[in-house]
Amino acid sequence: MSFHSKRQRKLTMRKILSIRKSLFTAALTSMIFLGLISTQASAQSNKELVINFYEQALVNKQVEAAAMTYLTEDYIQHNPYVPTGRKGFIEALSSWFSAVDVDFSIVRAIAEKDHVVLHVKQVIDGKETAIIDIFRVEEGKIVEHWDVSQAVPDEIAHDNGMF
C-alpha cells in the first residue's frame, strides 16, 4: 500500500466522520426545533381551547354545554366557592348566573405549554373586578383551574388602569 492511498483513506474517513457529525448535528437541531414548534402549536391550541370555553361558559353563559365540551369529569377546581368536578362547576355557575347579572370580557390570554392564563374584566352592577384565571389543559380538555380576583377601586394611585 502506498503512502498516498493510506493518506487518502484517512482523509476519506475524516470526511465521512465529519459528514456524519454534521448530519447528526443537523438532525438533532431539527428535532429540537420541531419540538419547539410542537410545543408552541400545543400552547396555541390550548389557548384557543380555553378562550372558546370561557366565551361559551362565562361570556355567553352556556355553562352546561361548555362544561360538557371542555372540562373533564373530574376537573380540579381551586376556587374556594366552586365545588371540584364538572358537575360542581355546572351547578355553581348556573346558580350564580340565575342570581347575578354579570358580564365578562377577556382582556388578554397567555399560554405556555399546558397552562393558559386569562386576564378578565368582570362587571356586576357597574362595578369592575380584575380576574386572573389559570387553566391546565391535558389532551384537549381543561383538567384544572385556579383564579384570583381584585375589585377595581374607585380611586387608584396612577393612570394605568387595571386592564
pLDDT value of residue 124: 97
Angle at 140 between CA 35 and CA 98, to 5 degrees: 145
Give domain status of residue 140, yes or no: yes
Which residues is 150 bridged to in the sheet? 130
Spatial contact of 81 and 100, defined as CB atoms under 8 Å apart:
no
Cell of 138: 391535558
Give domain status of residue 39, yes or no: no
Which residues, including other chains, have CB under 8 Å from residue 150's CB and lie 6 or more apart?
Answer: 129, 130, 131, 162
Give domain status of residue 24, yes or no: no
Give domain status of residue 14, yes or no: no
Which domain covers residue 106, as residue numbers?
44-151
| Tens of each residue's pLDDT in the chain, 163 residues | 565 677 677 667 777 767 777 666 666 566 665 555 555 669 999 999 999 999 999 999 999 999 999 999 999 999 999 999 999 999 999 999 999 999 999 999 999 999 999 999 999 999 999 999 999 999 999 999 999 999 999 999 999 999 9
The rounded distance, in Å, linking the Cα atoms of 75 and 141 is: 9
CATH of the domain at 73: 3.10.450.50
Give domain status of residue 127, yes or no: yes
**Count of domains for the chain:** 1
Q: What is the DSSP letter of 80?
A: T
Cell of 80: 374556594
Give domain status of residue 147, yes or no: yes
Give domain status of residue 125, yes or no: yes
Give domain status of residue 64, yes or no: yes
Look up the pTM and report it: 0.76
Give the DSSP H/E element, type plus range, for residue 79.
none
